[in-house]
A = this chain, B = another copy of it.
Amino acid sequence: MNLYQFELFCQIAKVRSFTKAAKLMHLTQPAISSQVQVMENFYGTKLFERSATGVKLTPAGELVYKYAQHFLAEHEKLERELDNLMGTNAQTIVIGASSTIGNFALPCNVWSFKEKYPEANIRIEVENSKKIIELVLEDKVDFGLAEGPEFSHPDLEVKKVGESQVVIITSPNHELSSSNSITIEELKKLPLILREPGSSVREVFIEATKKAGIPAKDLNIVLELGSFQGVLEAVKKGHGISFSCIEAVKKEYHRQELHYLTLKDMELSMPFLLIYRKDRTFSPLAKRFLRFIIGPAALEFC
C-alpha cells in the first residue's frame, strides 16, 4: 500500500465518483478502477458500493478513509518537520516560464504550493519558449516550463507535464464570429497578428500551415507583437485574427470581448514542457515543487 493510493482513495471518497476522481487526478477512469481493485484485494473487502450514479463508501471503506486521511496529514507533517530541520522552507526557487504558462497556469499552482510552504521564495521569469530554453541551458533558472513543441537536447531533460488546445481568436464583431470553425485555406487570406518568432503558439501555427502545404510567405501577417497582452488588444480592436491557448482567453470569451474558433481539419494543441539540465542538482524545495508540478496536482489553469 502506498501514499499515492491513499491519495486516490481520499479523492474518490470525497467526490463519490471514479470518473470525477480520475479527472481531478489526471488519470483515466480505468486506472482508478484498477487501483481501487488493488486496494480492495489487499484489504480483502469491498471499499466502495458501485452504482450507475457514482460510488459510496462501505463501512470498511469509511474506516480506510479515516486512516488514509490521517496518513496523508501525518506525512505532510513529516515533510514540514524535515523542512524545519534542514531550513528548506527558506530556500528560493527560480522558474523560467513562457508566457501562457507563466501568466495563466503557474500563478495558481504557485499559490497552492505556497499554502503548503509559506516560507518558500519563488521567482518566475516570463520569457518566450526559446528564451526559456536558453535560460535553462545557461543555468540561470532552476528549471523551465515552456510550451511545446516537444524536442530533445543532449544536455536537457524534457518532460510533457500538460497540454492545451490552441484556438483562433477574433474580435466578437469579426465576420467569422458567427462560425465555430474554418479551414486552413480560408485562414491564410485573413490578416494575422502573431507573437514574435520563438513564441510557441506561433510555432504551433506555423507547423500546422507547413503540414497543410502552405509556405510561410503566403501568410498575411500584418503585425508581430512581443507580448500576449498586446496581441489580445490588437485582436479585440479587430486589426486581425490570432491564436491562443483556449484557457488564456476564457475570461475574455465569457465577457464577450473575444470570439474563438477551431480549425476544421486539424487539432492545434500545445504541450507544456518541463525542462531542466540533466546535470542539475535540485534543492529539496525545488524537488518538492517538481513533484508538485509533475504529480497529481499537475500544471493546471486557474
Contact = CB atoms under 8 A, between A and B. Distances in A.
A67 B74 contact: yes
B2 A43 contact: no
A3 B2 CA distance: 6
A52 interface: no
Name the residue among A2, A43, A60, A85 with the largest chain B CB count within 10 angstroms.
Answer: A43
A13 to B, nearest CB: 15
B283 A79 contact: no
Given A60-B85, A74-B67, A85-B60, A44 B2 contact: no
A210 B82 CA distance: 61
Given A3-B1, A71-B74, A78-B67, A59 B43 contact: no
Interface string A70-102: 110011011101100110100000000000000
Given A2-B2, A2-B3, A59 B85 contact: yes
Contacts of A280: none
Given A71-B71, A78-B64, A78-B67, A86 B2 contact: no
A77 B64 CA distance: 11
A287 interface: yes
A279 to B, nearest CB: 16
A81 to B, nearest CB: 6
Given A1-B3, A2-B2, A2-B3, A43 B74 contact: no
Contacts of A284: 43-45
Number of copies: 2
A85 B63 contact: yes
Interface in A2-47: 2-4, 41-45
A1 B2 CA distance: 6
Contact of A82 (B63, B82, B85, B285): B63
Nearest to A44: B284
Contacts of A50: none
Nearest to A62: B85
A288 interface: yes
Given A70-B74, A74-B70, A60 B44 contact: no
23 contacts: A1-B2, A1-B3, A1-B75, A2-B4, A41-B287, A43-B79, A43-B284, A44-B82, A44-B86, A44-B88, A44-B282, A44-B283, A44-B288, A45-B86, A59-B85, A60-B86, A63-B78, A63-B81, A63-B85, A67-B74, A70-B74, A71-B71, A74-B74
